[in-house]
Chains A and B, each alone.
Chain A
């Protein structure tokens, strides 16, 4: 069964303290892995798509990496405005083109 597990469930950092969020996945062939950011009271906002092991994507203080079993979202020198829940999702190669499986998310808090 296709599965996505995110850790930790919650992470509190001091402003400027770099860290990483983990997304472990089990799928029968990966079509794509997605990262989203969700602010309280809002829908998720798309950040990155990764398609193959070794691929990396960057956006401001965020960098997403992918291996055959997991993805990391590295956050460098975070600021309070980076506080949000970060969701990971995967799409299996042989699933319908529209079906994506989400993890439970990591709730990130950055203290000033």
Chain B
């Protein structure tokens, strides 16, 4: 496989559930990101990992917990979410030093009920 792969594509969870989103990149990139995309709002940067180390956390609630075990994999662990957390969650990767365009995955459409 090539590019950035996200699983699952769709997820419905209750407010008391715990679930995880997975992202995998096969591009040899050094940086990986989680973004949140809500209707009619700009993409919101959540977390940035560079060389497996978290370099940014944009005031994201603690109910979202990222994990980057190696440079190819990124997870977003979810627990006790709220209905307003329903959105498209996008993973992206890039060569961090250049800061050029990102390669995005297709996203996970999350619905919290």
Q: Hey, which bits of chain A sit against chain B, CB under 8 A?
A: 4, 31-32, 34, 36, 41-47, 49, 87, 89, 91, 96-105
Given A41-B106, A96-B56, A98-B50, A46–B41 Cβ distance below 8 Å?
no
The answer to whether A43 and B33 have CB atoms under 8 Å apart is: no
Q: Which listed residue, B31, B41, B99, B105, touches A43 by the CB 8 Å rule?
A: B105
Q: Which of B45, B91, B99 is packed against the most chain A CB atoms within 10 Å? A: B99
Question: Separation in Å of the B80 CB from the closest CB of chain A?
Answer: 27
Q: Which residues of A contact B12 (CB under 8 A)?
A: none
Q: How large is the interface on B (under 10, 10 to 19, 20 to 34, 35 or more residues)?
A: 20 to 34
Given known A-B contacts A4-B42, A43-B90, A104-B42, A98 and B106 have beta carbons under 8 A apart = no
Chain B CB within 10 Å, residue with most, of A43, A49, A89: A43
Find B107's partner among A42, A100, A103 (CB 8 Å cutoff).
A42
Q: Report how far A46 CA is from B103 CA in the complex, Å.
A: 7
Output the nearest chain B residue to A105 by Cβ-Cβ distance. B42
Q: Which residues of B contact A98 (CB under 8 A)?
A: 31, 33, 48, 50, 55-56, 94, 96, 99
CB-CB < 8 A to A41: which residues of B? 106-107, 109
* Cα A87 to Cα B104 with chains together (Å): 13
Name the A residues within 8 Å of B92 (CB-CB).
43
Please give the residue numbers on chain B whose beta carbons come within 8 Å of chain A beta carbons, in ascending order: 4, 6, 31, 33, 40-43, 45, 48, 50, 55-56, 90-92, 94, 96-107, 109
Q: Quick one: given A43-B107, A44-B104, are A97 and B40 in contact (CB under 8 Å)?
A: no
The residue in chain A whose Cβ has the minimal distance to the Cβ of B45 is A99
B104 interface neighbour in A31, A45, A96, A104, Cβ under 8 Å: A45
CB-CB under 8 A from A44, the residues of chain B are: 43, 90, 102, 104
A102 near B42 with CB under 8 A, answer yes
